[in-house]
Structure 1
Amino acid sequence: MNPWEATHPVSLEKAKEKIERDFPSLKPASVKAYGSGFDHTVYEVNREFVFRFPRRKLGYEAMQFENRVLKSLERLNFEGGFEYPKPVFYQEAEGDDYPYVGFTNIKGSVLTEETDTDLLHHHAKELGIFLKKLHALPADQIDADPDHLHRLSTKLRKKHFHDIASESEPVIPRALYKELIHYIKNLEEWENEPGTVPLHGDLHPKNMIVREGRLTGIIDWGDAHIGHPAVDLSVGYACMTPEVRTVFFKAYGEVDERTQDLARFKAVFIMTVLVRYAKNTEDQDVLRWGLAGLEKSLS
């Protein structure tokens, strides 16, 4: 079975039926496809809102996390320089269906739709400031769990990492693939690094919104948690060259060598996951960004 296949698909017609039934104030609802991620099917409604329907169990869990965290950010009046979704609608589960949610619409296109894979170079300072402000929020006022997935444990993930890379080999240029395997083979094994800061948790190109050629929004907070800053700082490796990365880290603040190693690991890992996703779904946009991200994070 394709790991990305939806166990709970929701067609556009079904989404419209549900939304108009559950939220009469939105009738007549103008509904159009807005894309699909790893875990959700997404529809734009009346151009004002984005409704997310979980595609599988992980999506349901992520949606619950996201709703809680975004409410916390809204309560704290968090302003980091980029837009983020505000929860507006929530519908409980019915029968075998999952719950679903509606957020304010962060208008624009997903970053992976951009042809310029260096686009975030223009936002290195802004992203560093955004993460500095996010990580400075009081963790005890954010409704989020600790890192129960052990995202930074190479001891837990190294074999799986190699398996993902091997599965992705057909779409990775030979020289880059050899570099990737060399990195994995020589990767030191360590336990999960603890941390105490609020994190987005999944900051990669499919979760960023661009409008008129500029980064404007950060979406998909379903992996938000309390953990180590390296999880988010990985974006500096995945989307920036070494020269630009220095601007990013300077804006964020002092980052020790250990944190940089952890951030690089997270970047190489998630970019490899993106490449495998692109291979399995034949998504050429994501493949372009995944391969560019591998090159950057390994440099």
Structure 2
Amino acid sequence: MVKEQMRLVERVLCTHYSDWGVGSLKIIGSGLDFVVCRADSEQWGWIAIRIPRTRFIYNENDETVDSRNLLKLELFISRYMRKYSIPVPEVYHLHIDDKIDFLVSSFIENDQSKPNSVEMGKLVASIHQVPLIHIPYTIDNTPFQQSLVNRILRRSAVIRKHSGITVRLPNLHDLKRSLKNVSRMSILHMDIRPDNLLTYNNQMMGIVDWSNVLIGDPALEIARIAEYGLLTEEFLEGYGSSPLKEIPPVLEWIYRMDTAVMLAIVFLSEAPDPNQAKKQLNRVEELNQSYPK
């Protein structure tokens, strides 16, 4: 399927954009929903081409998602973030037709080295300081508080279906009340991990894949980074004071559970991995046992 899509992209480039002088495509990245290829072009030099695996994305973490909207979202975020010196690739072109969609961006040279944690913290802090703006094409365009409640409840039901584990949650009234008191809101990337960080000699060169972007409490992003195992003293040195210290324990617990159930579903059904699924279900159980009193 991927090779067929790459041939379609090459055909479109040759037919409609021959003046770009684009050579053959080579896969440089592959995720659950997209494949990223690199190619040489006479117009821009090295370019990156982001190709959806399917038009519509179906999984148990989210309701049906139109990959075309995610490409439009990447285009919007790239143009907005570049105004504030966030190191995102420059988008050159979005192609949409009834056969294939793809996004053409600048290629940022990287060697996939381990990101410097201090630099990672500085990058996340700079994203959280970007002025708020309405973000179109997001997976869930409801307000942050309602979106979080909806997805925790939906994903908890999925966990129960697959594992029999009942996720312990505050009652709906208390959950909404806790979220209503959130005072600070920022643009959140919501998938800060090495796969989405472009590095060279351990230095931060760029950040990609804004599919999960939303406007919400920056503590939610920091809790997710913590659950990814990336929240180190060095990271906090770069970021500054941790937003987790500024929120009630029950809110930190909710934010951490949000990530724990998401990862469990990834390994249970989206990218099945029994060992990782067991690890994440153990984490869900651990959080169940540590519910703040």
What TM-score do the two structures reach when normalised by structure 2?
0.68
Matched residue SS, 1:157: helix
Partner of 1:48: 46
Matched residue SS, 1:11: helix
Matched residue SS, 2:27: strand
Partner of 1:27: 21
Q: Are 1:218 and 2:201 matched, yes or no? A: no
The count of residues paired between Structure 1 and Structure 2 equals 263
- Which residue of 237, 258, 261 maps to 2:226? 237
2-structure distance, mates of 1:218, 1:162: 30
Q: Are 1:137 and 2:137 matched, yes or no? A: no
The offset of 1:105, in angstroms, is 1.9
Q: Is the 8 A contact 2:110 2:200 kept in 1?
A: yes
After TM superposition, the structure 1 stretch with the greater mean CA deviation from structure 2, 22-31 or 191-200, is: 191-200
Change (3 A) 1:36 1:130: same
RMSD: 4.2
Q: Are 1:269 and 2:255 matched, yes or no? A: no
- Which residue of 216, 222, 226 maps to 1:227? 216
1:14-163 aligned at under 5 Å gives the runs 14-46=8-40, 48-54=46-52, 55-57=54-56, 58=65, 59-76=67-84, 78-79=85-86, 83-91=87-95, 93-94=96-97, 96-97=98-99, 99-108=101-110, 122-123=116-117, 125-140=118-133, 144-145=135-136, 148-150=141-143, 153=146, 155-163=149-157
2-structure distance, mates of 1:97, 1:266: 39
Letter in 1 for 2:107: N
After TM superposition, the structure 1 stretch with the greater mean CA deviation from structure 2, 260-269 or 20-29, is: 260-269
The offset of 1:206, in angstroms, is 4.0
Q: Is the 8 A contact 2:188 2:215 kept in 1?
A: yes
The offset of 1:219, in angstroms, is 0.9
Matched residue SS, 2:247: helix
Letter in 2 for 1:251: Y
Partner of 2:247: 258
- Bigger relative CO (Cα 8 Å, ≥ 6 apart): 1
Change (3 A) 1:198 1:212: same
2-structure distance, mates of 1:103, 1:264: 38
Q: Which runs of 5+ in 2 are unaligned?
A: 57-64
2-structure distance, mates of 1:187, 1:156: 13
Q: Is the 8 A contact 2:111 2:201 kept in 1?
A: no
The offset of 1:196, in angstroms, is 3.7
The offset of 1:248, in angstroms, is 1.8
The offset of 1:221, in angstroms, is 1.6
The offset of 1:280, in angstroms, is 3.8
Matched residue SS, 1:65: helix
1:187-206 aligned at under 5 Å gives the runs 187=170, 189=172, 190-191=175-176, 196-206=185-195
What TM-score do the two structures reach when normalised by structure 1?
0.67
Q: Is the 8 A contact 2:119 2:238 kept in 1?
A: no
Q: Is the 8 A contact 2:82 2:88 kept in 1?
A: no
Structure with greater Cα Rg: 2
2-structure distance, mates of 1:35, 1:287: 24
Change (3 A) 1:144 1:159: closer
Q: Is the 8 A contact 1:208 1:218 kept in 2?
A: yes
Q: Is the 8 A contact 2:88 2:206 kept in 1?
A: yes
Q: Percent identity?
A: 15
